[in-house]
Amino acid sequence: MGARGRMGATVVEAVRSAPDMTVALTVDAGDDLGSITPDNTDVAVEFTVPSASLRNVLTLVRSGVSVVVGTTGWTDEGFAAVRDAVDSASRAGQSVVIAPNYALSAVLMERFARQAARYFESVEVIEMHHPDKVDAPSGTALHTARVVAKAREDAGLGAMPDATTGDETSRGQVVDGVHVHAIRLRGLNAHEEVLLGNPGEQLVLRADSFDRSSFMPGVLMAVRSAASGTRPGLTVGLEPLMD
């Protein structure tokens, strides 16, 4: 799904180049999703737009196909709807993987941020992307902020120091207490920094996807997992597959 888009086209080429995979169908906006069935497709890959992704995934799951999803904009309600649908699916081993970022560098950066969060007073997230991106902040930045906030909460840390008063529009979006800043700049692709601060010291974690090829090993890893049927149900994020 989304085969003519920037990510979709890159995925089509990656699957064509993979020795153990074939492209069954390419589908985009306006095409009939009903053409994708378990008879012609083991795993559908979905990179479309946040407004269409939930509907696409539910349709595919209900038709018996496993799905790997890269589209961003997912909510807890969306995850719950997909979890229910795939758990009550009739085909054994059917699965859905939804990950905001398939680049190994970004997944590892988030893991390191989770490990580090408990040791610092302050944490902020900055994401930087190409200006053709429709959503902000990025799905990855939202996910990172939630993961960091959870790690801080688990460690018993309170609110971060911030003396800002009055108009706070310059302080970014606050996600579970973590400030997230979004930059859109021609020439960039997909980049994220997590800044962690203590009195007299700073740790900067940074992941750069210079090219969409960076996402392909993770996408193919998720496709292989879904095709194997060894991890039925919903998996959120790539990290559980890497472990």
Query: Which residues of this chain interact with ligand LZUJQKHR, rule CB under 6 A?
Result: 72, 100-101, 129, 133, 138-140, 190
Q: Is 130 a catalytic residue?
A: no
Which token pair is 190?
Answer: 């997909």
d(CA 64, CA 56): 13
Tokens of residue 229, six digits: 């049927």
The nearer residue to ligand LZUJQKHR, 66 or 138, going by C-beta atoms, is: 138
Catalytic annotation present for 150: no
- Report the residue number whose CB is nearest to ligand NDP: 5
Amino acid 148 reads V
The SS3 of residue 68 is: strand
Strand 201-209: give its sheet, edge to edge: 173-175, 178-184, 122-129, 190-198, 201-209
Residues 130-159 interacting with ligand NDP (rule: CB under 6 A)? 135, 139
Q: What's the farthest any 2 CA atoms get from each other in the chain?
A: 61
Should residue 50 be labelled a site residue for ligand NDP when binding is judged by CB under 6 A? yes
Nearer to ligand LZUJQKHR, 42 or 239 (CB): 239
Active site residues: 129, 133
Contacting residues toward ligand NDP, per CB under 6 A: 1-2, 4-8, 28-29, 47-50, 52, 56, 70-72, 99-102, 135, 139, 215
